[in-house]
Structure 1
C-alpha cells in the first residue's frame, strides 16, 4: 500500500533538522511521495534543496502564504518566478486567504493570492490553497480566474459539503488532514462523501494537524522525537483510517485512489 502526502512542511524550522529521519521512517511505512510547501521567500531555497536531496520522493512547492504577505519584499514575485524557472518540478503553494483573528489587510492578501493563481495558470502548475473563514471570497476569485485545467488543492479542507461541487467543477481536489478529526463526525462524513472519489487526497500538514485518537482501530501515532505535539508524516496512516471509516470503505481502496489522484495532479 502506497501513500502520497499531498501537503506538508518538512522545511519547517521545528523539524527541519530531523527531516531526513522523518522522511526515511515515513517511506518505510509506505509514504513514498511528499508535496513540501514553502510559505515565504525565506524558506523557498530550503524547499528547493529538499526537493534535490530527496528526489523523487519530495515535490517542491513555492508560494507566499497569507500569514506572511505583510513581510514580503518588493521583489517577491520575481524571486518566486525565478524559483520556478530553476525548479521545473515545482508546484505552487502554499497560497491562499485567511480571515483569522490576527490577520492583516485582507485586500492585500487577495491581491497577492490572485497574482499567484495567475502564475499557476501561466506555468500550468497545480496550486495548494489555504482557506480559513473565507470560502465565499475564495469561490468568487476562483470563478473569476477559472477554470483550472491543471487542478488545485483545497488543503486540509474543512469547508461545506455544499461548496464541493462548485470547487470541483473549477478543477478542485480536496485534501484531508488530522484537522478533519476536530469536526463533528456527522458533518465530516457528509463533507467527505460529497467529494468525487477522483478528487480525494490525503495529507498530514506536518508538523501541524496532529491527528486525534479515534479509538483502537487506528494505528498508534508516530511521535516526533523531542516534541510529542508535532506531527510526523507517517501519521497519514491515521488520517487514511479515519477517512476510510467516514466513507465506509476499506483503507486499501482509499489509499490507492488518493495515491493515484495525487500522482495525476502532480504529473505535469
Structure 2
C-alpha cells in the first residue's frame, strides 16, 4: 500500500469531536499516514495544538480571512508566541476571500501580509486560501517577493494561466475533492498546468467532499489521488510517491 500526505485538513472541526481516533485510524487503513491540520482563528488554535500529539498529525496556525472580525487586539502577538513555542508549526490557514458577503478586502490584505511576513521571519511554510481574489494575491506576492520557506495554495480554484506565476512565487498547488467533479474543467486544466514537483493533494475535510461522497475526512484522500491519476495518466503509485516527496520538501521531513 502507498503512503500519502493530506496537505490540508481541519481535524479541529466539531464534526470530528469525539471521533478523532476513529477518523485517524480509517485514514491510516487507506494509507493516509500524515496530514496537515490547519488552524483558522484564535479560538481553534489550542485544539489544533492538542491534535498534534497524534501520530502523523502536523499543524499550522493562522487567521483565516473568514474570521478576521473575531480577532482580538493581541491576535498577532498570540500567534507569534505560539509559533515560537511550537517550532514545527506552519503558518495557515491565511489568505484572501472576495466571495464571502461584504468582504473587507483591505483588512484581509493587511492581515494576510502580516502573516506572510511572520512566516518569513519564523522560517515557516504557509497554507494560503484564495477565492475570487487571485489578482490581489498575485499583486501581493509580486510586492512581498518569493515565499521564502515554501507553502501551498490550497484547494486551488484559479485559472491555469496563473499556475506558473504561483509556482515562481515559491508555492505548491494543492487540489481538493473539487477536482473529482466531472464538470470542473477549470480545475482539470489547472492540474495539467502544474509542474509535477509542485503538485499536492488534500481533503480540506470536513469541507470539500469528493463527488458522490456525503461527508469528508482524511481517508477520502485516496479518492482524490485516483482522480489525479486518471487525469494525469500517472499510476496511483506514481502519484502517491510524487505527493509524498513533494510534501516532505514543502513541510519538512516528517515521520509517521
TM over 0.5: yes
1:261 is matched with which residue? 246
Q: Quick one: distance in 1 between partners of 2:175 and 2:17?
A: 23
Stretches of structure 1 lacking an aligned partner (at least 5 in a row) = 214-220, 222-228
**What displacement does 1:17 show?**
2.0
Q: Which secondary structure does the structure 1 equivalent of 2:26 belong to? A: helix
Q: 1:124, CA displacement in angstroms? A: 1.1
Q: Which runs of 5 or more residues in structure 2 are unaligned? A: none
Aligned residues: 252
What does residue range 160-179 of structure 1 map to in structure 2 within 5 Å? 160-179=159-178
Partners of 2:75 and 2:186 in 1: CA distance: 39
Which residue matches 2:130?
131
Closer, same or farther: CA 111–183 of 1 in aligned 2, 3 Å: farther
- Aligned residue for 1:6, secondary structure, equals strand
TM-score (norm 1): 0.91
**1:157: which partner in 2?**
156
Q: Are the structure 2 counterparts of residues 109 and 186 from structure 1 closer, same or farther at C-alpha, using a change threshold of 3 Å?
A: closer
1:265 Cα offset (Å): 0.8
- CA RMSD between the two structures: 1.4
CA shift for structure 1 position 190: 2.0
Q: Answer whether contact 1:189 1:247 (CA < 8 A) is retained.
A: no
Q: Does 1:54 align with 2:54?
A: yes
CA-CA distance at 1:243 after TM superposition: 1.0
TM-score, normalised via structure 2 length: 0.95
Distance (whole Å) between structure 2 residues aligned to residue 40 and residue 64 of structure 1 = 5
**4+ long deviations beyond 4 Å:** none
Question: Does residue 242 of the first structure (1) align with residue 227 of the second (2)?
Answer: yes
Aligned to 1:217: none
What pairs up with 1:179-218 in 2 under 5 angstroms? 179-182=178-181, 184-213=183-212
Distance 1:76 1:185, change over 3 A: closer
SS in 1 for 2:94: strand
- The answer for the alignment partner of 2:218 in structure 1 is 233
